[in-house]
Structure 1
Amino acid sequence: MKGTESRPPSAGAAAHGARTSLIERTRHVLGQAVEVYHGTPQERRLTAVRDRLDEPLRVAIAGRIKAGKSTLLNALVGDRLAPTDAGECTRVVTWYQDGHTYQVLARPQQGPPRQLRFSRENGAIEFDLADLSVDDVAQLEVTWPSQALRTVTLIDTPGIGSLSEQVSQRSWHLLVPDDEETPADAVVYLMRHLHSNDIDFLRAFHDMEVSRPNPVNAIGVLSRADEIAVGRLDAMASARRIAGRLSVNPSVRRLVQTVVPVAGLLAETAGSLTEVEFAQLRRISDLPAAQSDQLLLSADRFVQSMPELGLTSIEREALLGRFGLFGLRLCTVMLRHGTCTKATELARELTERSGLAQLREVLGSLFFERRDVLKSRSALLALADITRVDPRPGSEHVAALVEEVTASAHPFNELRVLASLRAGWVTGRPAVIDELEHLIGGAGAAPHQRLRLPPDASERELDEATDAALARWQRRAENPLTSAEMAVAARVAVRSCEGLIAERRFR
């Protein structure tokens, strides 16, 4: 099985791994590398990689042009920071990170970083590039005090498939660089439909080696999901069915862990809903149902008809821009039926119905709970590249340490098996494959997720399920009729069960 079978670690390595966390083992190897490359241009790069271990997880938001990347970023932050129009700054890779002060920094292609003037009035941040052109800027860095950004740095990328080849290449160079590690630890890939450009990009971002990006650090988002059924009230139900089919599609499974439907515009608006907007929606919902249905038949009709509603065309266009027809129809129904009586209640309901709550759960279980694994992998990728392209006395020892960590660390073995499952290299009965995928963390790293139990499972239920799973996978690993690929995967599953037992015993 490619990328899955590895040499067994030495007793010393195993004992060291048992005592030391993966992050600390990675930090130790980086410390060795800094000494080897002391006084060289690589020393600064290695120090930055080591510092990156303590930083928030870096998640890039990528996808085709007009897929709704900036809108989704704003929804995740809970604030309208990223510009969502077609302005020139949407053509630049932009980092959004937490900090104590408000600052926008431009990193030019040539020359030192420069602070930019910016403004913000009830909307996205507007940048003043001064004498810089978009082509002069390698990336923008927005520092903004934000609770949401304390655990994750979000990277907004230009659209793939842009009419400008140079704009499209900015995303390719960020996430699929030719000669160094990607700055992102994980990627959220937005798609409105599965396009050939999406597949090409994800394949380039994907690699079976544990030290390189692969499906375990990529998830797909069926963006603008409310448009799938032309804004009908059942649009999200249709989107969930399509996302479900994509999630089990073998071609898609090789590229992303799962696909989640999200109505990005609705999710963004939910995070910044105002009392004024709530009052305006109330006016629409107070109309007789037949009249409001007629009003919301089309965008033109909503803006131009029924002057007696008491909303100006400017106010209506603003509502349409914030909610879309789907959002306006949904809000009207919920307010009419008394589902929500306050702006805060409506905001919570919109967040849930937009798919954002589900996306946050997926990000938590597949990315944030694996933070240390993803961080270590990014660092080891950088280190492997440096020892390969710039060998010097002592670098062979560093490369051997990298190999030892990647071979002996159980989380990496889980990721190798998961990648092999997604690639179709490990095969078996669907029920067995499904159990294996869950057990090694393919649906989340929490014990109840691995054991396919409800979140409120009791201690006894967890113990019994763990013991039963351990016995099943031990038998499968030792059965001479088990295929070689499945036997390797079964031994990893056994180790995962033992880890669950040890975690519960010493907690």
Structure 2
Amino acid sequence: MNLAPATRALLGQALETYQDSPRAVGWLQRHLDRFGDPLRLAVVGASETGKSTLVRAIAGENVADEQAGMAWIGQPRHEPTLLDTPAIEPGAAPNTVENICMEADAVLYLVRHPHNADLGFLHTLRDHPIARAAAVNAIVVLSRADELAGGRPDALISARQVARRYRREPEVRELCQDVVPVSGLVACAARTLADAEFDALAALAATPREDLEPQLLSADRFLLRDGEMRGPLLDRFGMFGVRLALTLIRRGANTPAALAGELVPRTGLADLRQAIERNFTSRQAALKTRSALLGLDVVLRMEPRPAAAPLAEGLDRILASAHEFRELRLLAALRGGRMRLSPDLLAEAERLVGGHGTEPAERLGVGEGDVRPAVLEMLRRWRGWAESPEFGESERRAAAVVLRSCEELATGAR
């Protein structure tokens, strides 16, 4: 089954069934129209997790204050549209969570520190039966990663190690596709760097090191001298960002553009954008279908009628046969360490179900002209693994999903 066309056809049937209900028609048409729109990506988190800061970092522009409510920020063509949401505190009203679920196709869930992170929002996302049957659509972002190591120069390296451990925790790996550390504050400052800020940093970098280094040991020491100039820099960059910027200027980043170009790759922003592309943008048809099915279910629950019985059956049929959803659930399991596969098989399974790109050559790890022989070899190998007594039941089920992906590749390669 081609998932998106089947879902659009089901929405068309629903429009006919509910043509006498303006509210249902408006809701269904909205979800149908969204198939032609950019992917909608909500940035969600509690207060002080840096949501609007991260949105500015991704978009490279200023946005409305988060207290103003949900704000859509347009992105370059083919990139997701960002949704900056109000702060979601523990015990948030279910309708608030449901509104975000209905507005967005995927979620970046920001946490300040994994040790005290509240994952209730992600659990609520998964409470709906359709959400459990469909694809996992969330990435957890350690959005203030530079704070995990006290602002040391190696803070992002330490944060990546923390993220790897956190990704493997049983609760976390069930709820998200990935865990990515980002210094949102520094990324935002770098992408919106002003000439005056660069000049202030360059002046600091010209200070003899023996005089400046003791001042960089803490925020309090840094602000003791010329707090009027240094305070705004600290607010924009944090101690980690100030230390990093000064180091890069001394190494030759002698223009605002050069400094920004050196800072951004060191913030984890590129890793986050890659995770968004790999998990969301390349899978946007499946994620938009997920949103549409959730939207259809809302209509079926809010306005039940006998004529809608075929719609409910069609919805169940799509969920039962949607291989794209199975691939995304398996990717989450593979990346979360839930499959007892050898490292080589683990990497191969992840690639074949689209973990490194959804084009046939990307799935098979070969050139365009080598697709046919490679897919036949993968079919042979994974058919054997799907029936192997060496595997446990969950591993055989995983192998069956990979085998189905190979069969679809073989069909396309004929």
Q: Same fold (TM over 0.5)?
A: yes
8 Å CA contact 2:177–2:331 kept in 1: the answer is no
Q: Which residue of structure 1 aligns with residue 146 of structure 2?
A: 226
2:97 pairs with one of 175, 191, 209: 175
Summarize the alignment of residues 120-269 of structure 1 with structure 2, pairs less than 5 Å apart: 147=76, 151-161=79-89, 168-169=92-93, 172-176=94-98, 182-194=102-114, 198-207=118-127, 211-212=131-132, 216-269=136-189
> How much does 1:62 deviate?
1.2
Q: Deviations over 1:37-80 (max 9, x none)?
A: 11113122111121122222111111222011110011111112
For normalisation by structure 2, the TM-score amounts to 0.89
Summarize the alignment of residues 406-425 of structure 1 with structure 2, pairs less than 5 Å apart: 406-418=319-331
> How much does 1:402 deviate?
1.8
8 Å CA contact 1:95–1:153 kept in 2: the answer is no
Summarize the alignment of residues 283-362 of structure 1 with structure 2, pairs less than 5 Å apart: 283-305=203-225, 313-338=227-252, 340-362=253-275
- The one-letter code of the counterpart of 2:136 is V
Cα distance in 2, alignment partners of residues 423 and 295 from structure 1: 42
> How much does 1:31 deviate?
0.6
Distance 1:409 1:201, change over 3 A: closer
Q: Which residue of structure 2 aligns with residue 494 of structure 1?
A: 403
Distance 1:301 1:349, change over 3 A: same
> How much does 1:155 deviate?
1.8
Cα distance in 2, alignment partners of residues 79 and 160 from structure 1: 23
| Partner SS state of residue 11, structure 2 | helix
- The one-letter code of the counterpart of 1:429 is L
Cα distance in 2, alignment partners of residues 276 and 423 from structure 1: 44
2:405 is the alignment partner of 1:476: no
Cα distance in 1, alignment partners of residues 147 and 392 from structure 2: 46
Summarize the alignment of residues 366-385 of structure 1 with structure 2, pairs less than 5 Å apart: 366-385=279-298
2:53 pairs with one of 63, 66, 71: 71
Cα distance in 2, alignment partners of residues 246 and 448 from structure 1: 32
2:37 is the alignment partner of 1:55: yes
Q: Deviations over 1:331-373 (max 9, x none)?
A: 11111122x2321121111110011111001101100000000
8 Å CA contact 2:138–2:177 kept in 1: the answer is yes
Q: Which residue of structure 1 aligns with residue 71 of structure 2?
A: 95
8 Å CA contact 1:211–1:380 kept in 2: the answer is no
Cα distance in 2, alignment partners of residues 153 and 30 from structure 1: 23
8 Å CA contact 1:175–1:184 kept in 2: the answer is no
8 Å CA contact 2:278–2:356 kept in 1: the answer is yes
8 Å CA contact 2:167–2:336 kept in 1: the answer is no
| Partner SS state of residue 198, structure 1 | coil
Q: Which residue of structure 2 aligns with residue 34 of structure 1?
A: 15
- The one-letter code of the counterpart of 2:245 is C
2:314 pairs with one of 383, 401, 404: 401
Which structure features the higher share of helix residues? 2
Q: Which residue of structure 2 aligns with residue 277 of structure 1?
A: 197
- The one-letter code of the counterpart of 1:357 is A
> How much does 1:416 deviate?
4.6
8 Å CA contact 1:203–1:255 kept in 2: the answer is yes
- The one-letter code of the counterpart of 2:229 is E
Q: Which residue of structure 2 aligns with residue 130 of structure 1?
A: none
| Partner SS state of residue 53, structure 1 | helix
| Partner SS state of residue 182, structure 1 | helix
Q: Deviations over 1:206-225 (max 9, x none)?
A: 25855558772100111111
> How much does 1:147 deviate?
2.9
Cα distance in 2, alignment partners of residues 47 and 239 from structure 1: 43
Cα distance in 1, alignment partners of residues 127 and 334 from structure 2: 13
> How much does 1:437 deviate?
4.0
Cα distance in 1, alignment partners of residues 370 and 259 from structure 2: 37
Distance 1:359 1:347, change over 3 A: same
Between 1:212-221 and 1:278-287, the stretch displaced more is 212-221
Unpaired runs of at least 5, structure 1? 1-16, 84-89, 99-145, 306-311
- The one-letter code of the counterpart of 1:43 is V
> How much does 1:298 deviate?
2.3
> How much does 1:284 deviate?
1.2
8 Å CA contact 1:438–1:450 kept in 2: the answer is yes
| Partner SS state of residue 159, structure 1 | coil
| Partner SS state of residue 228, structure 1 | helix
- The one-letter code of the counterpart of 1:367 is F
Q: Which residue of structure 2 aligns with residue 441 of structure 1?
A: 354
Distance 1:29 1:412, change over 3 A: same
Cα distance in 1, alignment partners of residues 18 and 116 from structure 2: 42
Identity of aligned residues (%): 40
8 Å CA contact 1:61–1:156 kept in 2: the answer is yes
Task: Kindly report the root-mean-square deviation, in angstroms, between the aligned alpha carbons of the 2 structures.
Answer: 2.9
Q: Deviations over 1:136-172 (max 9, x none)?
A: xxxxxxxxxx537x7322222222337xx7xx43xx5
2:3 pairs with one of 22, 25, 50: 22
For normalisation by structure 1, the TM-score amounts to 0.73
- The one-letter code of the counterpart of 1:152 is P
| Partner SS state of residue 217, structure 2 | coil
| Partner SS state of residue 231, structure 2 | helix
Q: How many residues align?
A: 412
| Partner SS state of residue 67, structure 1 | coil
Distance 1:463 1:352, change over 3 A: farther
| Partner SS state of residue 489, structure 1 | helix
8 Å CA contact 1:64–1:160 kept in 2: the answer is yes
8 Å CA contact 2:31–2:295 kept in 1: the answer is yes
